[in-house]
Amino acid sequence: DDDDDDDDDDDEDDDDSSLMQADDKKAKKPAENNLEDLKRELEIDDHKISMEELLRRYETDLEKGLTDAKVREVFARDGPNALTPPKTTPEWLKFCRQMFGGFAMLLWLGAILCFVAHGISVATYEEAANDNLWLGIALTVVVFITGCFSYFQEAKSSRIMESFKNMVPPLALAIRNGEKRNLKAEELVVGDLVEVKFGDRVPADIRIVQAHGFKVDNSSLTGESEPQSRLPECTHENAIETKNLAFFSTFAVEGTCRGLVVRTGDRTVMGRIANLASSLETGETPIAREIAHFIHIITGVAVFLGVSFFVIAFVLGYPWLEAVIFLIGIIVANVPEGLLATVTVCLTLTAKRMAKKNCLVKNLEAVETLGSTSTICSDKTGTLTQNRMTVAHMWFDNRIVEADTSENQQNNLETSYFLFKMNLLVVIGNVIKFREQNRKICELPFNSTNKFQVSIHETQDGDDRYLLVMKGAPERILERSSTIYIDGTDIELNEYWKAAFNRSYLELGGLGERVLGFCDLRLPITDYPRGYDFNSDDINFPVTNLRFLGLVSMIDPPRAAVPEAVAKCRSAGIKVIMVTGDHPITAKAIAKAVGIISEGQETVEDIAQRLNIPVEQVDPSHAKACVVHGNDLKSMSPSEIDAILRDHPEIVFARTSPQQKLIIVEGCQRQGAIVAVTGDGVNDSPALKKADIGVAMGIAGSDVSKQAADMILLDDNFASIVTGVEEGRLIFDNLKKSIAYTLTSNIPEITPFLMYLITDIPLPLGTITILCIDLGTDMVPAISLAYEKAETDIMKRRPRDPKHDRLVNERLISMAYGQIGMIQASAGFFVYLVIMAENGFWPSRLIGLRKSWESKTLNDLEDSYGQEWTYQQRKALEYTCHTAFFVSIVIVQWADLIICKTRRNSLYHQGMTNWMLNFGLVFETVLAAALCYTPYLDKGLNMYPLKFLWWLPAMPFSLAIFIYDEVRKYLIRRNPGGWVEQETYY
């Protein structure tokens, strides 16, 4: 039949296609991107007004649908039924941002200055050195490679709208001019009459006109996985809750319906969420802010020192070219050229480690963000809970039995026994086989009017009578029962048993569980013989005077690992807020079960109940816990929301909408919190995008939520987030250690230039040699610190304060530059002076010697003993000193690497179990030796072979660094919060 319809409607399809093409340009209207408007709750009354009023509003007909003329008019006004794509950033611009942003710009500046200096040298001198040329090339290569790496790693939410596009149904069956037509879904307009069957996506927001067992899967919209029945009657004031609206892009999973299109494109519920998600601006990640702060510090120091010594050089009478070269040398020595690559690699390694723990990181910077999280706004269903309705309690034989709701159900014999007695569980094996043996003859489906479901079965238990079973709202089941089944006998359902029922019903309902009543009846064989024609439309069987069996309460139980994870969050100073669309009683019960509302903490309602006073008389400040209903949230001002978030450490938000979830996130951020949000539905995408880190569910999550998020939980388990927090804190600690290690060598790299400039001595360390340290020997050890295990206090301290606990602070600079760096510089100069003295140049002879030393025409320069040195001999000695200074830095960096393993613990406690770090120690030593002793490197890198004895003078300094730092850490542990900790703990 569908094929025939397609053939019959070819002409109409052509007309509609031409209509669309003709009107496409003027119809394409900009999306409603007013952010504040999108944040407001959807206010429509299409579900509340009568059908006659609805037909008048959209000038349509329930039988014939719209006319072609009306379609053209509405299409010209509203445009196509499609989501307007957001403005996208061109790929070339993204590439340029990575290539020229922040830290990279500093390196580009250094490279350009190197090329300028080399150009001037070539133009000025006949035999200009190529140091600056090689340095410029090296810097360019470093920036280009790290820029490309960062560009390819970038996983922002720019693809969100692609996921929304995938949700748009391609075709729709509409009735126009009284004829059925297969159209492109984007050609639909408001007022169109459409038909939807199971397996279709709903093509627009529609008001249900007729429904035959029609159910939709709203999980993509609400996150709740249970199929929702759709009916022509309005059942709720809230448009999202009512059953007579079906929403654009949701799946029809059962039955058929006819509906009237009331909203299209960007004006649909899904369209508003799409626009809200794509309109939100995500701020800088905390780690990006920290790196920017670090860049400002280093740039400031580098430029200040460079310009200062440029001016000093002029004052001291140096030629301007040499002054420029000094400036470049100082800047290059200050900039840790390898740090950009080190940070990127460290984050990548942590992301891989987190993936093994079921946290898939899309955006590398999100790795650290999770570690600095101070508030987690968690969804309930599937994240804190198992996402499966499970029997929790039963009332049977006038007693309440608790069922096993754990994920691993082993010891549930008692529950099985009672279920067996209630005829709810037949222990014969395969459920499908049991159903086949007890064939269903007739069914009266559940509806919102009756609130019960009835089925009639043939049974295979030797009784020829039909068995009628009913389940539904307990009060409805009770009023249809006349007897109750107690201890194997039927007893009259009198006032005593009704009171017992009410007590049990209230008790189970108060636990936040979904309660169902059950009853049955054996139909008399004389009135209902085998083969009787049961009619579910015109009911011809009894639905009263049944036998009441009992109550079963169900709940989506908490995951086993969640209470411990919430407790870990609390000890780590992280506030966990539940934000759910579920009922407040259910939400509160789960919050108490998992520890979000801890034992002994009361809400205002609990206090009112305990004191037996009205809720209004309770002072809210006395309640540490709080359950806020979405309806109350609607009328709250930002300051009232702030007061709730500030004054209550334990909060549950129930019956919340997507817009409210976004408002809650913004409220937390106004308090200065770093917010992580979990979600799985399309409705969660705005909050996921706005949060500092959005965490989507990998199993139950929609594609849109996964695109909007920065991280995906592969097992949908809240406990995995806590693992991620620990990893995030660890990478922040380890990045600090890596930066401390990298910056320390800056001082022995800078001071040779300063002494060269101020005291006029021959240059102790060359520019190329500095590059060998920053991009050679220091790289692997710096990266190896990313593998360092956590110190003992990592999940016992509060989240870091983004304003005060910086990645690079004054204490880290003081340790790296003012303390350890100075010892390292002393080691370098000691080796330099030893080699010079061994070759006849005492320290007193070196001062003021620079001009004579560098004169190519002077080939008889005398040393302290009167020996004469040619220019070539002097340069060979100078390059030997460069090599020795380089080796001394490597040796003192051994100790620096070992002390950077911990910030508080002793090496004795931490151990040397980081095998990557152990490899780093070996690597930098082997690389240093290779650079020293490889033939022909004296030409390329100005590296000369050293005597073995010249490796030794730096070793006492290395030992001194280790002893100094162990004593410092001992004093920190002995006097927590004391002067040493305040001044040196970074």
- Are 860 and 969 part of one and the same domain? yes
- Are 861 and 931 part of one and the same domain? yes
Return all residues near 341 (Cβ < 8 A) that are at least 6 apart.
142, 145, 146, 149, 779
- Are 394 and 373 part of one and the same domain? no
Instruction: Let me know the angle formed at the C-alpha of 30 by 28 and 32, rounded to the nearest 5 degrees.
Output: 135
Radius of gyration of the chain (CA): 38
Select from 231, 261, 279 the last residue of a domain.
279
- Are 643 and 767 part of one and the same domain? no
Tell me what the pLDDT averaged over the chain comes to. Answer: 83
Alpha-carbon distances of 394 from 181, 351, 731, 785, rounded to whole Å: 52, 46, 48, 55
- Are 954 and 813 part of one and the same domain? yes
Residue with tokens 């420029």: 324
Do the Cβ atoms of 213 and 199 come closer than 8 Å? no
Helix (H) or strand (E) holding 144: helix 131-153
Residue with tokens 């919102």: 448
- Are 537 and 587 part of one and the same domain? no
Instruction: Let me know the angle formed at the C-alpha of 379 by 378 and 384, rounded to the nearest 5 degrees.
Output: 85
In angstroms, the CA 654 to CA 585 distance is: 9
Neighbour tally for 53: CB within 10 Å:
11
For 172, the token pair is 């729709």
Select from 726, 757, 777 the last residue of a domain.
726
Select from 726, 760, 778 the last residue of a domain.
726
User: Does residue 419 belong to any structural domain of this protein?
Assistant: yes
Three-state SS for 739? helix
Residues paired with residue 402 on neighbouring β-strands, in sequence order: 393
Residues paired with residue 212 on neighbouring β-strands, in sequence order: 256
Residue 490 catalytic? no
Q: Are strands 650-654 and 575-579 parallel, antiparallel or unpaired?
A: parallel
Positions in the chain short of pLDDT 70: 1-42, 86-88, 102, 128, 153-169, 220, 222-226, 281-283, 329, 332-333, 337, 407-430, 448, 938-939
- Are 370 and 431 part of one and the same domain? no
- Are 526 and 601 part of one and the same domain? no
Nearest to 281 by CA among 662, 684, 676, 711: 662
User: Does residue 122 belong to any structural domain of this protein?
Assistant: no
CATH value at residue 939 = 1.20.1110.10
For 891, the token pair is 């040796």
For 5, the token pair is 């319809």
Helix (H) or strand (E) holding 481: strand 481-486
Q: Which of 46, 131, 200, 379 is labelled catalytic?
A: 379
Confidence (pLDDT) at 923: 95
What does the buried/exposed string (b/e) look like for 556-572 if buried means 16 or more CB atoms within 10 Å of the residue's CB?
bbbbebbbebbebbbeb
Confidence (pLDDT) at 187: 92
In angstroms, the CA 382 to CA 366 distance is: 23
Confidence (pLDDT) at 427: 46
Neighbour tally for 803: CB within 10 Å:
7
Half-sphere exposure of 923 (CA within 13 A, CB side): 17
What's the total number of domains in the chain? 4
The 10s digit of each residue's pLDDT in 742-770 is 999 989 988 998 898 888 899 999 878 88
Give the DSSP letter of residue 200.
Answer: P
pTM of the entire predicted model: 0.74
Confidence (pLDDT) at 642: 92
User: Does residue 142 belong to any structural domain of this protein?
Assistant: no
- Residue-range definition of the domain harbouring residue 205: 2-85+161-279
User: Does residue 547 belong to any structural domain of this protein?
Assistant: yes
**Residue 817 burial (10 A CB sphere; 0-12, 13-18, 19+):** middle
User: Does residue 323 belong to any structural domain of this protein?
Assistant: no
- Are 225 and 166 part of one and the same domain? yes
3-state secondary structure string, 857-912? CCCCEECCCCCEECHHHHHHHHHHHHHHHHHHHHHHHHHHHHHCCCCCCCHHHHCC
Return all residues near 315 (Cβ < 8 A) that are at least 6 apart.
none
